[in-house]
């Protein structure tokens, strides 16, 4: 099983070609990995399966060479075909137990959660990590749920039995508040893939994050 989980690294990058101004996914991934991002999730909602498979094969090679973890969102078949390190599913996707039956125990399974009840259910079902959010309002998904705010994050930081990644509307100006409340890993989409200078954006996010590191970490 891959050793890189949320909490073992600080930034969890998610792709979105619609928000990457004129750049190929290879260019974006190259910049993210060169900046030291160690978890990359492929999340493309409006592409044909053949194109997604081709892109995931490229990203699998790139992340392997960079010693980074590669996660595929939703598409379990593509994750298996390319040998991804993990898959990430939502509350309305296939149940974790069913996904486990398909991918086995060497593949990570992440599950989006929006409440303590869902977090507990994820742990009971055998997920490897959870997404906690959306913390703030976000427009990067068409079917996004309402923001859960910081209250659920506070609960997860104190009570989650699983590693978690905070997600949803996280930007350079508010990532410090999110990490101050206990998030050790934050997922970002538009803030990263839409940045003019991805390396500078990653550095800025890390400065903002480290300014709020807990004294007891």
Q: Dig out the tokens for 139 from the structure.
A: 């427009």
* CB contact at 8 A, 182 and 159: no
Q: Angle at the Cα of 189 (from 188 to 191), degrees rounded to 5?
A: 80
The answer to whether 42 is a known ligand-binding residue is yes
The answer to whether 190 is a known ligand-binding residue is yes
The answer to whether 48 is a known ligand-binding residue is no
The answer to whether 8 is a known ligand-binding residue is no
The answer to whether 12 is a known ligand-binding residue is no
Domains of the chain: 11-210 (3.20.20.70)
The answer to whether 44 is a known ligand-binding residue is yes
The pLDDT of residue 36 is 97
The answer to whether 41 is a known ligand-binding residue is yes
The pLDDT of residue 214 is 44
The answer to whether 196 is a known ligand-binding residue is no
Among 199, 171, 185, which residue's Cα sits nearest to residue 35?
Answer: 199
In this prediction, the residues of the chain whose per-residue pLDDT falls under 70 are 1-3, 140-144, 212-217
The pLDDT of residue 216 is 41
d(CA 21, CA 165): 26
pLDDT tens-digit profile of 26-37?
A: 999 999 999 999
The pLDDT of residue 143 is 65
The answer to whether 138 is a known ligand-binding residue is yes
The answer to whether 17 is a known ligand-binding residue is no
The answer to whether 38 is a known ligand-binding residue is no
The answer to whether 67 is a known ligand-binding residue is no
The answer to whether 91 is a known ligand-binding residue is no
Q: Dig out the tokens for 179 from the structure.
A: 């990490």
The pLDDT of residue 138 is 79
User: Three-state SS across 3-21?
Assistant: CCCECCECEEEECCHHHCC
The pLDDT of residue 1 is 42
The answer to whether 112 is a known ligand-binding residue is yes
Please give the helix or strand (H or E) that residue 26 lies within, else none. Answer: helix 25-34
């Amino acid at each position: 099983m891959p050793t890189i989980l949320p909490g073992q690294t600080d930034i969890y990058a998610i792709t979105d070609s619609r928000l990457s101004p004129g750049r190929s996914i290879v260019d974006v991934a190259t910049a993210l990995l060169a900046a030291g991002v160690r978890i990359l999730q492929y999340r493309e909602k409006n592409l044909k399966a053949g194109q997604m498979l081709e892109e995931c094969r490229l990203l699998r090679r790139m992340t392997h060479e960079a010693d980074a973890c590669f996660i595929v969102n939703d598409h379990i078949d593509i994750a298996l075909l390319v040998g991804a390190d993990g898959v990430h599913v939502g509350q309305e996707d296939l149940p974790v137990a069913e996904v486990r039956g398909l991918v086995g125990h060497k593949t990570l399974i992440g599950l989006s959660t929006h409440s303590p009840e869902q977090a507990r259910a994820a742990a009971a079902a055998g997920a490897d990590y959870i997404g906690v959010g959306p913390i703030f309002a976000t427009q990067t998904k068409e079917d996004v749920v309402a923001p859960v705010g910081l209250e659920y994050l506070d609960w997860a930081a104190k009570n989650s039995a699983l590693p978690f990644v905070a997600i949803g509307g996280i930007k350079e100006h508010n990532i410090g508040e999110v990490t101050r409340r206990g998030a050790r890993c934050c997922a970002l989409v538009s803030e990263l893939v839409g940045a003019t200078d991805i390396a500078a954006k990653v550095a800025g996010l890390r400065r903002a994050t480290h300014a709020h590191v807990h004294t007891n970490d």
